Amino acid sequence: MKKKGFIRNLSVTLLMACIGIMILSPIVITFTNSFMTEHEIQGNYGLVGKMPVVTQGEPDVFVNLKLIPDWLSFEQYGSVLLETPTYLFMLWNSVAMVVAIIAGQTVVSALAAYAFAKLRFKGREKWFRVYLMTMLMPFQVTLVPNYIIADKLRLMNTAGAIILPGIFAAFGVFMLRQFMLSIPYALVEAAQMDGAGHYRIFYRIMLPLMKPGIAALIVLLFVDYWNMVEQPLIFLEDSFKQPLSLYLSRIHKDAQGIGFAASLIYMTPMVLLFLYAESYFIEGIQMSGIKG
């Protein structure tokens, strides 16, 4: 009985590991390929994006996907970090935008979430549902009016056009409300008995209790906004204002040779953050799934 279970367990593990490796493979390939020389990259993948007509007659010409580099080299990193100042510039653009959005959204939505979770007022559920609906909308739905408003507020082509809508996005309110619902209302009542006002309750009781929720929110927001493509594509014209995600979307055309290292550096903060705060990340996602 026990042995049978062991074998079954092992086979399932193997199967899952296979799928897991497939899922991880793009990341692993990026990692290993980032240590190839630019020359080797060109040799292996130079054919990507070439017209199919060129090889129509002789279909034997293919790219050569290789996992292990011929030579361990830091040439790509050197090129990215030392010879491509735009890269680092845009990296910090990304950092600045993400940090601003996270800081703003956490504060704004913690306040709003408290109101939605622990205060009774008329129209609370309806208003919250409005928030929820916008969360589900694709960005394109309000593209034109957003554009007009950004223009009116003189935000076009400034980081503000990305940061401000980010700060007021509904996601943080939703997340933190979900989290706060799990904090018993009795705590609020008990504090009120002691004569504490809502501001005090929020600051003294809720905030300390919300720390895991806020941590989860920060991780999720980081992931979300580190990835953003659509908003900067529309709102930022000057390349020196754009975040790194847009640079990488062009890199396979512009500078294939350093693409892998550039990608790897770009994903490193995310991966490190994930490894550090994996539990918060997973809790955060689970929290968003709990019916409120």
Chain residues 93-112 in contact with another protein, contact rule CB under 8 A: 93, 95-96, 107-109, 111-112
Annotate 7-33 with DSSP letters as a single string.
HHHHHHHHHHHHHHHHHHHHHHHHHHH
Q: Is 254 in the site for another protein (CB under 8 A)?
A: no
Residue 71 or 240: the one with the smaller Cβ distance to another protein is 240
Taking the CB of residue 275, how many other CB atoms lie within 10 A of it?
Answer: 9
- Of positions 89, 156, 187, 205, contacts another protein by CB under 8 A: 89
Q: Which 190-229 residues touch another protein, going by CB under 8 A?
A: 197-199, 202, 223, 226-227, 229
- Is residue 236 helix, strand or coil? coil
C-alpha span between 30 and 32 (Å, rounded)? 6
Q: How is the chain split among helix, strand and coil, in percent rounded to 5? A: 75, 0, 25
Residue 186 or 275: the one with the smaller Cβ distance to another protein is 275
Residue 208 or 275: the one with the smaller Cβ distance to another protein is 275
**DSSP element (H, E) containing 251:** helix 244-254
Smallest gap from residue 39 Cβ to another protein (A): 16
Binding mask 14-33 for another protein (x = CB under 8 A): -xxx-xxx-xxxxx-xx--x
Question: Residue 67 corresponds to which tokens in the numbers above?
Answer: 């996992």
Residue appearing with tokens 């503000």:
160
Binding mask 152-181 for another protein (x = CB under 8 A): ------------xx-xxxx--x--------
Residue appearing with tokens 């892998």:
260
**DSSP element (H, E) containing 90:** helix 85-118
Q: Which 50-69 residues touch another protein, going by CB under 8 A?
A: 50, 52, 55, 59-65
Q: Is 182 in the site for another protein (CB under 8 A)?
A: no
Both ends of the chain: CA-CA distance in Å? 42
Number of residues that bind another protein (CB under 8 A): 128
- Of positions 36, 101, 114, 210, contacts another protein by CB under 8 A: 114
Choose one: 68-76, 179-187, 208-216, 237-245; the region binding another protein (CB under 8 A): 237-245
